[in-house]
Amino acid sequence: MSDLFERSIVLATANPKKVTELRAIFAGIGLGVESLADLNTPTTEPDETGATFEQNATIKAVEYARQTGRLCLADDSGLAVDALGGAPGVISSHYCTDGVETGMTREERDAANNEKLLAELGDRAISERTARFVCVMVLASPDGNIHATTRGTFEGAIGPPGDVPRGTSGFGYDPLFLVAPELAQTSAELDAKTKNALSHRGEAARAMAETIAAMRGA
């Protein structure tokens, strides 16, 4: 294979909490990674104009690979709530502003997103609050070639107001997300090892690691 595969993979994300999760997942399966912050190469975040997780992950992987000259792994992830027709979906991180960047901090956005989601679900019964996290990962090289795409899901439900938010781990919608099948704990109450074993990001990352290992051995 190309010598691109002999170097660490670059995680094409500016989200430090996501980097921490991915480092832990990939370290557990023996894959070395770097983040954009580890590089001396200046980068510009591309516009995520896709209508699906796959499209946005591809946009990020291709553009960051072009900018850095390295093999880049990007993911696009979010929450899909059945009662809301799959929303927040691809605008999960900016749900409170209908997908528009307004300069809020990540913590402010998370709180506002969670508040909006609970308000939209109202007093629906737990059987009508089913949801899942989705993660799509795309591996691209500087020439624009897509080497692999993987997908993972994490099933659960959005807890009712008064019961959630709970937990101090994770980020985003984790404090609202009751983990299936028991629906007893939120994702934010899981320890890192358990969460990585169950989560959408963990599932997609393990599949990607297997794919990369196969390509390196080819």
Which is the catalytic residue, given 38, 47, 76, 82? 76
* Confidence grade of residue 29 (pLDDT, cut at 50, 70, 90): low
CA distance 39 to 3: 18
* Long-range contacts, stretch 162-167, CB < 8 angstroms, 24+ apart: 164/118, 165/114
CA distance 21 to 154: 15
* Confidence grade of residue 101 (pLDDT, cut at 50, 70, 90): confident
CATH of domain 3-217: 3.90.950.10
Active site residue 38: no
Contact present, 18 and 35 (Cβ < 8 Å): no
Whether residue 6 has pLDDT greater than 70: no
Ramachandran region of residue 85, left (φ > 0), alpha (ψ -120 to 50) or beta? left
* Confidence grade of residue 26 (pLDDT, cut at 50, 70, 90): confident
Mean confidence (pLDDT) of the chain: 92
**3-state secondary structure string, the chain?**
CCHHHHCCEEECCCCHHHHHHHHHHHHCCCCCEEEHHHCCCCCCCCCCCCCCHHHHHHHHHHHHHHHHCCCEEEEEEEEEEHHHCCCEHHHHHHHHHCCCCCCCCHHHHHHHHHHHHHHHHCCCCHHHCEEEEEEEEEEECCCCCEEEEEEEEEEEEECCECCECCCCCCCCCHHHEEECCCCCCEHHHCCHHHHHHHCHHHHHHHHHHHHHHHHHHC
Q: Is the pTM of this model over 0.85?
A: yes
* Confidence grade of residue 20 (pLDDT, cut at 50, 70, 90): confident
pLDDT tens digits, one per residue of 87-100: 999 999 999 999 99
Q: pLDDT at position 8, please? A: 80
Question: Domain limits of the chain?
Answer: 3-217
